[in-house]
Structure 1
Amino acid sequence: MKFVVAVVCFALVAGAHAKTVVDVLQELGTETTLIALVGKAGLVSALEGKGPFTVFAPSDAAFAALPKELVKTLESNVTLLTQVLEFHVAPGEALSTDLKNNLLVPSLSGPKIRINIYDASEPTVITAEGAPVTKPDNTARNGVVHVISQVMFPLPMGTVVDIAVGNKDFSTLVTAVSKAGLVATLSGEGPFTVFAPTNEAFAKLPAGVLDGLLKNVTALTNVLTYHVLPGAYYQAGLRNGDMLKTVQGMDVTIKMSSDGTMVNDATIAAQVSGTNGVIQVIDTVLIPPSMHYELMYN
């Protein structure tokens, strides 16, 4: 009898270890879109190979949240589709316990995947390029699958400064950063979180405030560094009531409601990942409390 039990247990273990990451994706039941796209890109045999691989697998809901035109573009452009899918795969096997905050994991497509771990309060949140890991550590004989709730994209490339320079909606911010002599700093290793006001956000300032700041480098630097956090804070890592210390030295406060996420009185409209951090796009310029009356009412 003991022999029979041992044989059955061995068979179960052997069966589990026979599964590839593709088999695991199929068994999860939440990855039908990803599996179909992997087939369209001709990547099935590669992911059934020796590996090992770490797969960050967007759920069906993650793909359903994408604009339909974007999905059509991916389906019709195999080269682009392959680049995007390979950005979700890293060589080697990394369980959740192997992942560290701000770890940069090389992907099969080339660009690195930034891992962040937010454990200031329960539950701990693990993100890959800001995409929350919802079901980690689904193991296979040739790697591991971590289910994520967003699709990751390898573009745009570059630092937070490069991204801002490449977007016309940040032209006022780029001018201000250059005037304050902060380009080299924000092009450094980081990581940084930049709460980036759009041109429209700067246009909401009272008349004369922006011109005054551009003529006063000390005040301008004080305001701009109030928009920067040391460390990469994706929206998944922000919690209601968080008070986060800026490079300027004073705290900003995170507020969450059914209307979205805010930093102080600015709404976060979007986030963009860069090689040295993340840009959080905001609709209002943040003014340090110590400067608020002077700038806004004088």
Structure 2
Amino acid sequence: MKIITPLKTGVLLLGLALAGGGCAKNKDVDPSITNIAVTNPDFQLLEDAAIRGGVAITLGNKNPNDPQGNYTVFAPNNAAFNRLGVREAVDLTALQPDFLTKTLLYHVYSGSLAGSALAAGSTSASLLGPTRRIITRADGSKYVNGSKILGTDVKAANGLVHPIDKVMIATGGNVVESAVALQSAKVFTQPELTLLVAAVVKCNLAGLLSQPGPYTVFAPTDQAFRDAGYPTVDYINNLTPAQVTALTGVLANHVLAGNLGNKFSPELPDGTSVTTFGGGSLQLGTFSNGVLTIKSRGISTPANLAIPDVQCTNGVVHVIDRVLRP
């Protein structure tokens, strides 16, 4: 399918709007951050997202809140958007515009944040508000949250660009609020995690998972719950007391706390067994290409990270494709 015409028209208009400043008139002048995306085919989907999310003009101009007029952008490449199911511009319509705008702002720092400043354990504020942290693995690879930093210090007329391999997501809410945002179609235009939210409410765990934590939560998709024998919200709402007790144990097997709480995928102790909040155990697979598998005793096929590394105010949520039965 071809890229939809309105977005391409937007690119042309954007180019004209920036011609007087952000767009270079000779090869010795750095392009703006927006024009780097426009001219680099590896950032085609970032370009489309920036237009749809209303931040293209902002990143094509100087930052009025920085003395040097600079922004720093952690820039997801096309493959990063592919991980979310976005393969062409029209796929962005599956995301709510407000969520898309906030997601893009989470990738932006006000000022210059050079690659040399991206030290392990350091954090940086975003235009959205929530911070991001830098993680370094034993092999020397460097990540911002769960996204691998593929390069640093691509110079622009209005700042710096650091390419990354995954789109970063921060909800601005706690674990429960974040799940409810998905359930109420405030993230995707189609509801998701509806069965998880119903299960958490039925088992009276919403209060616990709203506490400071921190938690690392593996959140099964609706299809994962259906595959595990929980077909509808009504079915969950009508569970017997004994079934609720069993479901509570299942949910507790999806939560890590203590020193395992608030862990992005590159921070999880891959290749090891970890103890869950409910006292069960999970076997974490090998970390590869930014993800790993999770195996519990009650399932034969490990779960995959469908949407990893969602930053919440009291931890990190990883959306998975199977229910982790104890």
TM-score, normalisation: structure 2: 0.59
Query: Which has the larger share of helix?
Result: 1
Could you tell me which amino acid in structure 2 is paired with residue 67 of structure 1?
A: R
Conserved? CA contact 1:191–1:232, under 8 Å: yes
SS in structure 1 opposite 2:69? Answer: coil
Q: Which amino acid counterpart does residue 274 of structure 2 have in structure 1?
A: L
Distance 1:221 1:102 in 2: 36
The Cα offsets for residues 189-232 of structure 1, whole Å up to 9 and x where unpaired, read as 3442211234443444579997465443xx55443222112333
> Match of 2:277?
247
SS in 2 for 1:248: coil
CA contact (8 A) 1:31 1:58 kept: no
Does the 8 A contact of 1:177 with 1:183 survive in 2?
A: yes
Residue from 68, 72, 84 that aligns with 1:54? 72
Partner Cα distance (1:144, 1:122) in 2: 25
CA contact (8 A) 1:99 1:115 kept: no
What is the CA–CA distance in structure 2 between the aligned matches of 1:124 and 1:237, rounded to whole Å? Answer: 12
Q: Is the 8 A contact 1:21 1:145 kept in 2?
A: no
Residue 94 of structure 1 aligns to a residue whose secondary structure is coil
Hey, what does 2:5 align to over in structure 1? none
Q: Which residue of 2 aligns with 1:67?
A: 87
In the alignment, the residues of structure 2 paired with residue 249 and residue 73 of structure 1 have an alpha-carbon distance, to the nearest angstrom, of 41
Could you tell me whether the CA contact under 8 Å between 2:33 and 2:160 is conserved in 1? no
Greater share of residues in strand: 1
Q: Give the corresponding residue for 2:107.
A: 88
Q: 2 CA distance for matches of 1:263 and 1:250?
A: 13
Given residue 86 of structure 1, which amino acid in structure 2 is its aligned partner? L
Structure number with larger C-alpha Rg: 1
1:143 Cα deviation from its structure 2 partner: 4.8
Residues paired across the two proteins, number: 259
Conservation of the 8 A alpha-carbon contact between 1:176 and 1:220: yes
What is aligned with 1:165?
180
Match of 1:7 in 2: none
Q: Which ranges in structure 1 are unaligned for 5 or more consecutive residues?
A: 1-17, 289-298
TM-score, normalised to structure 1, is 0.64
The structural deviation recorded for 1:111 is 4.0
Counterpart amino acid of residue 271 in structure 1:
I
Task: Report if the CA contact (8 A) 2:135-2:142 is conserved.
Answer: yes
- Per-residue CA distance 1:2-48 (angstroms, 9 max, x = gap): xxxxxxxxxxxxxxxx968749958x967653578768822312259
What does 1:146-157 correspond to in 2, within 5 Å?
Answer: 146-152=162-168, 157=172
Q: Distance in 2 between matches of 1:32 and 1:68?
A: 11
Query: Hey, what's the Cα distance between the residues in 1 that align with 2:206 and 2:220?
Result: 16
Q: CA, structure 1 residues 220+30, in 2 after alignment: closer, same or farther (shift >3 Å)?
A: same
